[in-house]
Amino acid sequence: MTITTLALLLLTPILVWRIYTRLKTQMARQRSLMTRHYTGVLVFVGMLLVSLSEVLARPAALGALAAGAALGVFWGVFALRRTAYEETGLGYFFTPPARLGIVMAMVLIARVLYLGVEIYASQGSAGPAPRFTDSPLTMLCLGLTAAYFGVYSAGLLLWRRKLRQALEKA
């Protein structure tokens, strides 16, 4: 075992812990900013579309991406129903279901970390390093996470649009 491998093994749990604590702070009460919601929709739908373009010729990966996206849409709608929405004099706020959001983000992060270890391990071999879109399991995780956060951002946009329409009618 080389020193680099040992450092990787020691630093991975610390990295996972730091990511988890960062995600935990992000899943608390937040100010609703339209630009952030639009960015969320664009980024996560873009992730799905780029991945889709990469796996069109591979049925297993395409099916996994579609299944992950379908599950992500379901969980996104579920999360929107459990979100606490607030209108205050200071602005609009929402509190997402923290556990569900953390789990969705950690699914993709864990898979990316696993791929990083796989790429590191394949450096000594003669074969090419694995690509992100090669594994159906990776596509399932990506579809799940991207669809969840994309639907969640779109739901927040719809909530703010309904509030704006209600203010215009009043």
Position 122 scores a pLDDT of: 76
Domain total for the chain?
A: 1
Residue type at 58 in one-letter notation: R
Distances (CA, A) of 61 to 16, 78, 143, 168: 26, 25, 10, 46
Any domain includes 135: yes
Any domain includes 138: yes
**Which is it for the CA torsion 46, 96, 106, 140, positive or negative?**
negative
Position 1 scores a pLDDT of: 62
Any domain includes 25: no
130: containing domain: 31-169
Any domain includes 110: yes
Structure pTM? 0.87
Any domain includes 50: yes
Percent of the chain with pLDDT over 90: 60
Any domain includes 5: no
Position 10 scores a pLDDT of: 78
Any domain includes 23: no
Any domain includes 18: no
If one compares 81 and 122, the residue with the highest pLDDT of the two is 81
Query: pLDDT grade, residue 24 (50/70/90)?
Result: confident
Distance of alpha carbon 70 from alpha carbon 144, whole angstroms: 7
Q: Assess whether pLDDT exceeds 90 at residue 153.
A: yes
Query: pLDDT grade, residue 45 (50/70/90)?
Result: very high
